Structure 1
Amino acid sequence: MIELEDLKSFVEVVDSSGLNRAAARLGVSKSIVSRRITRLEAELGTRLLTRTTRGISPTEAGSEFKSRCDRILSEIEEARDAVTQQGRSVRGRLRLSAPLSFGVRYLVPVLADLAQLHPDLEIDVSYTDRVVDLIGERLDAAVRIGSLRDSSLVVRRIAPVHAVLVASPDYLARHGRPRTPQDLVGHECLIYTGSLVPEWQFQSGKRRISIRPEGRLRSDSGEAILQWAVAGLGIADAPSFLVSDAVESGALEPLLLNYPRPEYGIHVVRPPGSHVPGKVRVLIDSLVERFGGIPEWDRCLTEFTGR
């Protein structure tokens, strides 16, 4: 009989191209993984893996067997979901990637609630602004903000997020308040270097206005930009979820709200396939429930315009 754990170990070895990485992903020792592969090859009577200068790769028979193993494990996962969801319980391991600032501020509480509601669910989340390869890194889903490049992924839009200009009351008292986008010329701007678009964009009726910001402080960290803005060092262009608390407290003031800014989406993306694993479904449902309608990070801007 072929053991299920042997199949999982074989798939992990092929996907990670090595015994050590496969063992780390499975949470077992390298010797256990090696023993499982040896047992599997003995059961099948053929060699499945071969060593190369780049690591371990499947033989021709191993490649064929791997594709079938993927289907088998996927069907087992679907069957388990179908049974466990009848009792509204979710189990297994949710492997997730999320952007750093948004993830720490807003996703952590959602995942904490999920962990309490589903005690058999393991959650393994990586907070990074790097665009990860879901399939290559064997992730179940990722939370992404803004433009999505990989059209092969299945996308669910969760909520909007807007770009907003902010500055501290102290900075505005010293340098004046810009009334139009053109007034930004000559102001000290805090420049986020992680943006794909270097210009700050505004809408005036049907006309689009683009301003190239100038300033001496630059960073690829949104949190750093936020702290510099609160310290009165310049005007920042930031997502509304990042600055909402500072706006609500009065540490920052939004600027040029009569010139609409770009709207972006917060999405959950997952690998292609018609089946939505239960662990991904409960994540999406929780995010939609928490952030549906006008999300909390945009409410402060709505309230500010009404003052």
Structure 2
Amino acid sequence: MNPFEDMRLFAQVLESGSFTAAAEQLGVSKQLISRRLMQLEERLGVRLLNRSTRRLDVTPLGHAYHEAALRLLAEVEQVEQSIAGEHGQPRGTIRLSAPLSFAVEHLSQVFPAFMQRYPQVVLELDLSDRSVDLLAEGFDLALRIGQLEDSSLIARRIGGVERVWVCSPGYLAERGVPEEPAALVAHDCLPYGHGRTVQWRFEREGKTQQLQLGGRLRANNGEVLRDAAIAGLGITYLPLFIVRKALEEGRLCRVLDDYRPAPLAVSALYPAHRQGVRAVQVLVEFLREALRDVL
């Protein structure tokens, strides 16, 4: 019986999403993993997984065991790193979640330098605009843009993202320039999100106002909305890094600049049990330094 190995197997199954995927990643048979986890459940006297042919369903006790296992495994990793030499090269695998557009624009340019500096660190990147559950999905680190929800996660600010309202020169020539936020109700808007309406926030001279706006085209991808604005379909509100090139080339124009809110914070989030893992810490510090001049 090896409790830590059982924890690793269970965590890998949850992170992979199936016995088959976990077996492929670990290089063992699916039957071995299934047998070991059944023995684990027998030893604990509880059901961790509800098995079916279609999907893997984790019980509430299974979620609790998974979170505890991740903490214990992280502590073991910290002890091993400490014994191996605190000032040696950071090592280990970091599972990182980051917004797609932000990662393509910024992270793809800095990660090669990180990999060269820390050759014993392995990065697994999940690029998506969805908000992942770090604990349930086994992520070590996530980058988030915007206001953070209250949670047990540790957050460190690594920069800020400016947002701007933009549209095409042709759209302005046809529809006119909105001089104040209230004028947007007479314009075609291209909101980010899936709801029928989104809330755009405006700030000027210390005063804040918010407007609920809708539009014929809504999307949760900034590039889609940017291209729609370039095509003259309306006004959109996006991070500057997504529209900067189009602005420089004259394909987009800025509007309502006097009402721009403060930049959105870019934060690195990680579970408390990963706080002492050197690989996570050096990556967070590296990102703060590397992105200092571009955020």
TM-score (ref. length: structure 2)? 0.81
* CA deviation profile, 1:82-102 (whole Å, cap 9, x unmatched): 335513x22211101111211
Residue aligning to 2:226: 226
Contact 1:78/1:275 (<8 A) preserved: no
> What is the CA distance between 1:196 and its match in structure 2?
11
Residue aligning to 1:86: 87
Residue aligning to 1:131: 131
Within 2, Cα distance between the matches of 1:284 and 1:135? 18
The count of corresponding residues between Structure 1 and Structure 2 is 287
| Secondary structure of the structure 2 residue equivalent to 1:211 | strand
Contact 2:198/2:214 (<8 A) preserved: no
Q: Which moved more, 1:64-73 or 1:183-192?
A: 64-73
Residue aligning to 1:305: none
> What is the CA distance between 1:77 and its match in structure 2?
0.8
Structure 1's 203 and 2: CA in aligned 2 closer, same or farther, altered over 3 A?
closer
Unpaired stretches in structure 1, ≥5 consecutive residues: 298-307
> What is the CA distance between 1:159 and its match in structure 2?
0.8
Within 1, Cα distance between the matches of 2:71 and 2:191? 47
> What is the CA distance between 1:247 and its match in structure 2?
2.0
Within 2, Cα distance between the matches of 1:18 and 1:224? 33
Within 1, Cα distance between the matches of 2:70 and 2:253? 52
What are the residue-to-residue correspondences of 1:236-251 with 2, within 5 Å?
236-251=236-251
Contact 2:153/2:270 (<8 A) preserved: yes
Residue aligning to 2:294: 296
Residue aligning to 1:255: 255
2:87 maps to amino acid: Q
Cα RMSD for the two superposed structures? 3.6
| Secondary structure of the structure 1 residue equivalent to 2:135 | coil
2:43 maps to amino acid: R
Within 2, Cα distance between the matches of 1:14 and 1:175? 53
Contact 1:189/1:236 (<8 A) preserved: yes
| Secondary structure of the structure 2 residue equivalent to 1:254 | strand
Within 2, Cα distance between the matches of 1:275 and 1:236? 38
Residue aligning to 1:285: 285
> What is the CA distance between 1:57 and its match in structure 2?
7.7
Structure 1's 66 and 153: CA in aligned 2 closer, same or farther, altered over 3 A?
closer
What are the residue-to-residue correspondences of 1:41-190 with 2, within 5 Å?
47-48=43-44, 54-55=50-51, 72-82=72-82, 83=84, 85-87=86-88, 89-190=89-190
TM-score (ref. length: structure 1)? 0.78
> What is the CA distance between 1:131 and its match in structure 2?
1.1
Larger CA Rg, structure 1 vs 2: 1
Within 1, Cα distance between the matches of 2:253 and 2:17? 51
Residue aligning to 1:208: 208
Within 2, Cα distance between the matches of 1:269 and 1:102? 16
* CA deviation profile, 1:64-121 (whole Å, cap 9, x unmatched): 998986565323211233335513x222111011112112221222222222222222
Percent identity among equivalent residues?
37
Structure 1's 49 and 122: CA in aligned 2 closer, same or farther, altered over 3 A?
farther
Structure 1's 216 and 19: CA in aligned 2 closer, same or farther, altered over 3 A?
closer
> What is the CA distance between 1:224 and its match in structure 2?
0.7
Structure 1's 126 and 64: CA in aligned 2 closer, same or farther, altered over 3 A?
closer
Unpaired stretches in structure 2, ≥5 consecutive residues: 52-56
Within 2, Cα distance between the matches of 1:244 and 1:28? 48
Contact 1:203/1:260 (<8 A) preserved: yes
Contact 2:74/2:277 (<8 A) preserved: no
* CA deviation profile, 1:215-271 (whole Å, cap 9, x unmatched): 322222221101111222211111222222222333222212122324311111001
Structure 1's 65 and 128: CA in aligned 2 closer, same or farther, altered over 3 A?
closer
> What is the CA distance between 1:207 and its match in structure 2?
2.6
Within 1, Cα distance between the matches of 2:67 and 2:228? 51
Contact 2:67/2:135 (<8 A) preserved: no
Structure 1's 92 and 197: CA in aligned 2 closer, same or farther, altered over 3 A?
farther
